[in-house]
Amino acid sequence: MMDVVLSYFNYWVVILLMMIGFYGVIAHGNMDKKLMALGLFQTSVFILFISAGKVIGGATPVIRDGVSVFSNPLPHVLILTAIVVGVATTAVGLALAVRINEAYGTIEDDLIGDPSHEPEEP
């Protein structure tokens, strides 16, 4: 029983983190918060991939003396790319949030179009 729990613990925590992020995206109206929740979701996917590449008793995949078992380098390469692209998309999302804030005076979903929150004309 304990063996089963230990061998799937990483996957289950990944799913828990993923669902926390998913809940944040659905339940929060603030766009900044939505992007953070999306970031939580994204990082949980990274952890899933890196977990899949781990070998028990393996080492970081850099060739050096005295090490013969390595973890799989391919998921690492994939996630390296994904992290950088993830930040680029976050930047675009935040830029959109800033523009929405300029146009509507708020980044809350529910308040956009609410006349009491229109920005005052200069």
Q: How far is the CB of 109 from other proteins (least distance, A)?
A: 9
Structure tokens at 31: 């766009």
13 in contact with other proteins (CB under 8 A) = yes
Per-residue mark of binding to other proteins, 55-94 (x: CB under 8 A): xxxxxxxxxx----xxxxxxxxx-xxx-xxxxxxxxxx-x
Residues 6+ apart with CB under 8 A from 21: 37, 38, 39, 40, 41, 42, 44
38 in contact with other proteins (CB under 8 A) = no
State the CB neighbour count (10 A cutoff) for residue 15: 13
**84: number of CA atoms within 13 Å, CB side?**
5
53 in contact with other proteins (CB under 8 A) = yes
Q: How far is the CB of 45 from other proteins (least distance, A)?
A: 11
> Within positions 89 to 108, which residues make up the interface with other proteins, using CB under 8 A?
89-92, 94-99, 101-102, 106-108
